[in-house]
């Protein structure tokens, strides 16, 4: 309500002093009685004026309450003013997300960036978080209370596309739109070096051993591998792909680099031999957005704009032992932007443009859970080493830290597995638990997980081919070639 009446004292409608017209009396607000006015009560108003004044006052309250209730129901209500609501204790936003009806995954929200959060990582034994953003900053966070510990100085002059950290959490790097890669000491925050490229950098990664940095270059359609100690170039491969690269990554041994591109192909480059070990053309039906190795280095996962993820066997780079093994579908309603394996490869996490984070059962090839809560695209995902937490960054300028410690106890997962009629076994080779469907006629005879079964199949194929003589594999024309995700001799 306004604190002053609409009719100003000096308006033309103000008559002689001491007299009030009916129109003025109608506009009088409910009288405020001050301590000095108690001895002189206000003059009595006309009955009709009182009725009209009360009616307007009562109607304004009703309308305000209705508008307040309707604004809560209106999904387009943004920035409209309404009366302050009654104060009720509201639960903090960090506790629960809008998950599927049978599952509730607690999460914390990290707010501190003023633009898109493009990259996220766990570091320092999962006690710290690293993020890069389009607000030209790289930040280090406390994973417990969600506070910003450090905003790295000598920041880029343009949006940060990606940041990476070594396995020992001693160094970090970040690539930005200013065509530069910068390296910092994580503990002190000191800028170690800066490398300027002649073209835009689509992606950058530190090798797990901290010796190398790989940068995916846009215009060159190639990769540049740099010595992380002295910032000198080890190799620069131009025209590695036929179109712009989207992502690159090292294998766990820091000897091979996988790269993916808008040309739908996958390439693996060997640092020692300075040669391409593997090329898979038409790996997806659309552009490939990201890639990641398992911690064994035997498998590579790729995410794509075709809404799927694929897991490829890249067995030590041997050409004839590589091929598609698992396709993960029906997990995202939009393009998949990122992917990340758990350390023991028991599950995979992906983020999508449908604003969700998907958790996949790798062995069985289905989605366990869909984590909902971001209000815009999910740009990157990461998994803690203890597999208890998942980190996601988004275009909505936030990061979310999801607690999935008790994921196996979630009713939705249990219900889904029971519906499939599956039972859990333990692999006799790697001791990894895996599920077998009771409807499968071979369920009783299967004693190995899908990865060990595939390794055994590859070894048997190699043995049979070698028994036929060396001449079978001599010459490039005799080698099998990958076309549309299948091998052909």
Separation of alpha carbons 379 and 383, rounded Å: 14
Do 120 and 400 touch, CB atoms closer than 8 A?
Answer: no
For residue 339, the number of C-alpha atoms closer than 13 Å in the C-beta half-sphere is 33
* Burial bucket for residue 431 (CB in 10 Å: 0-12, 13-18, 19+): exposed
**In the chain, what percentage of residues exceed pLDDT 70?**
62
Residue 40 has pLDDT above 50, yes or no: no
Spatial neighbors of 482 by CB under 8 A, at least 6 apart, are 279, 280, 281, 283, 322, 323
Mean pLDDT of 398-420: 73
What percent helix, strand, coil does the chain show, rounded to 5? 15, 35, 45
Of 332, 370, 328, 367, which is closest to residue 103 (Cα–Cα)?
370
Residue 27 has pLDDT above 60, yes or no: no
pTM, rounded to two decimals: 0.67
Mean pLDDT of 309-325: 65
Min mean pLDDT across 43-52, 68-77, 81-90 is at 68-77
Separation of alpha carbons 308 and 286, rounded Å: 10
Mean pLDDT of 443-459: 67
Confidence of residue 330 (pLDDT cuts 50, 70, 90): confident
Domains in the chain with CATH codes: 107-410 (2.130.10.10), 421-461 (no CATH)
């Amino acid at each position: 309500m306004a604190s002053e009446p609409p009719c100003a004292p000096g308006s033309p409608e103000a008559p002689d002093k001491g007299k009030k017209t009916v129109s003025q009396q109608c506009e009088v607000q409910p009288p405020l009685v001050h301590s000095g006015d108690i001895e002189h009560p206000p003059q009595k108003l006309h009955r009709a004026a009182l009725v009209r004044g009360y009616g307007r006052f009562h109607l304004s309250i009703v309308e305000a309450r209705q508008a307040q209730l309707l604004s809560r129901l209106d999904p387009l209500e943004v920035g409209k003013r309404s009366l302050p609501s009654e104060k009720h204790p509201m639960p903090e936003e960090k506790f629960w997300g809008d998950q599927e009806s049978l599952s509730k995954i607690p999460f914390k929200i990290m707010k501190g960036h003023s633009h898109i959060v493009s990259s996220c990582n766990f570091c320092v034994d999962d006690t710290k978080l690293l993020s890069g953003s389009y607000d030209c900053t790289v930040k280090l966070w406390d994973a417990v209370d969600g506070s910003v510990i450090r905003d790295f100085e000598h920041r880029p002059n343009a949006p940060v596309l990606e940041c990476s950290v070594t396995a020992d959490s001693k160094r970090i790097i970040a690539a930005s739109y200013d065509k530069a890669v910068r390296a910092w000491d994580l503990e002190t925050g000191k800028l170690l070096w800066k490398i300027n490229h002649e073209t835009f950098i689509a992606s950058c990664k530190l090798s797990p051993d901290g010796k190398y940095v790989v940068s995916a270059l846009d215009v060159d359609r190639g990769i540049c591998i740099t010595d992380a100690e002295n910032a000198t170039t080890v190799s620069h491969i131009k025209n590695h792909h036929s179109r712009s690269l989207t992502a690159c990554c090292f294998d766990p041994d820091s000897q091979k680099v996988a790269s993916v591109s808008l040309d739908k192909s996958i390439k693996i480059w060997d640092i020692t031999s300075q040669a391409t070990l593997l090329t898979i053309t038409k790996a997806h039906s659309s552009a490939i957005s990201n890639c990641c190795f398992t911690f064994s280095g035997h498998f590579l996962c790729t995410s794509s704009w075709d809404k799927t993820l694929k897991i490829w066997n890249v067995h030590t780079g041997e050409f004839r032992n590589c091929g598609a093994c698992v396709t993960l579908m029906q997990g995202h309603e939009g393009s998949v932007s990122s992917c990340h394996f758990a350390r023991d490869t028991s599950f995979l996490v992906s983020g999508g443009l449908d604003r969700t984070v998907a958790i996949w059962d790798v062995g069985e090839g289905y989605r366990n859970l869909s984590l909902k809560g971001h209000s815009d695209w999910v740009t990157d995902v990461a998994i803690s080493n203890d597999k208890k937490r998942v980190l996601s960054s988004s275009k909505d300028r936030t990061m979310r830290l999801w607690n999935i410690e008790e994921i196996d106890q979630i009713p939705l997962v249990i219900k889904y597995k029971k519906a499939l009629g599956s039972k859990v076994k333990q692999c006799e080779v790697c001791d990894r638990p895996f599920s077998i469907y009771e409807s499968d006629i071979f369920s009783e005879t299967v004693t190995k997980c899908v990865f060990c079964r595939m390794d055994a199949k590859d070894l048997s194929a190699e043995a049979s081919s070698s028994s036929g003589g060396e001449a079978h594999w001599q010459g490039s024309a005799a080698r099998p070639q990958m076309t549309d995700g299948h091998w052909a001799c």
